[in-house]
Structure 1
């Protein structure tokens, strides 16, 4: 049996990952959530949950899994917690050889002929100051992970628009934004779940990759 934990299993991406992973007969899937009422509402009354603040959990409670998927989300003002959690999960992996899968952001991808960061464009949009800390911290998270060479980790950046929606066929890339125009640079939560479950079943990538829905 493969033991899979999904941090943030009641969120937009986490719930899709949980639902798809839970269809695998030989997997035990656990959602790590802060609000069990919300989680049971979106995942069903029989969902297998561990209710806790993952940042406060003892590392020993996270070492019994084969795979941990980090779909953690929080308000922009607290986005630095994503870096804190990444560091904690790497320590878990040092102790247990767990595979780590992180959902990153699009801001750390490159775009344009000069391959500037998408985050530079995002910072110029109206009211960016209210949410720009999230992509900034996601870039810090990636910078940290790219300095880790003794842990099996995969980080997946969605395209410029990451939204709820069903799975489609997808295209993968490395460090450059996919999709020629904003309306084509879209990743749905269903597609992200499809890719993550595929990577758990048959690992094919390491480090950072990016995914875009195919029209």
Structure 2
């Protein structure tokens, strides 16, 4: 399968590159830094790297692949670009079924507590929230935008509260509730996320919805 990964040099993106290559897929890695792209396993003939801004991707670029994974990350001051990029990708692919779009969303849009409030409300209570809260807020807007898209083949994936580097471990899967494991921890490693996304790509279980994954 041909898989294009936007933001391929970030924590999530690089884990996705490695997992997709491990499973024998053809991977195109996109990022804004040639230096960072060079740190990917470029000796693998199944990997192609390109320095390209995601907003320059055309319909032709996107339709040259089977799956596009949006692992885009940005500074809090530019967090609105999460919504803008989702809108750009969707606009290029209206009334199509291929490629499939996979969006990595934040945990803030998940529900938690007995009253099922949004987790972003809890994040906002962090004393340092002002410096980063725009990211989960805009990822919530991104999901809300996607939920109105019914003529593009998309799926969203949210991590648990603590999205961190690390290898894959056994996973918990859910839909819209923030997941907590038996140790009362709510975390998702980049490796666990990569495995969950590749599993979904290879054996689709979700269509035009968001699901969530956490370390078990």
TM-score range, shorter chain: over 0.9
Show the counterpart of 1:212: 214
Structure 2 partner of 1:61: 61
Q: Is the 8 A contact 1:100 1:152 kept in 2?
A: yes
Shift of 1:126: 1.3
Q: Aligned equivalents of 2:50 and 2:112: distance in 1?
A: 39
Q: How many residues were matched structurally?
A: 212
The TM-score normalised by the length of structure 1 is 0.93
Structure 1 segments unaligned to the other structure (5+ residues): none
Structure 2: stretches of 5+ with no match in the other structure: none
CA RMSD of aligned residues (A): 1.7
SS of residue paired to 1:212: strand
Instruction: Check the 8 A contact 1:106/1:160 in 2, yes or no.
Output: yes
State the SS of the aligned residue for 1:94: coil
Q: Map 1:11-50 onto structure 2 (within 5 A).
A: 11-25=10-24, 27-46=25-44, 47-50=47-50
Residue 182 to residue 86, structure 1, CA distance change in 2 (3 Å)? farther
Q: TM-score, normalised by structure 2?
A: 0.92
Match of 1:100 in 2: 101
Deviation of 1:91 after TM superposition, in Å, equals 2.2
Q: After superposition, what is the alpha-carbon deviation per residue over 1:72-93, rounded to whole angstroms, capped at 9, x for unaligned?
A: 0010111111111101111233
1:85 paired to 2:85: yes
Asked whether the 8 Å contact 1:63–1:92 carries over to 2, the reply is no
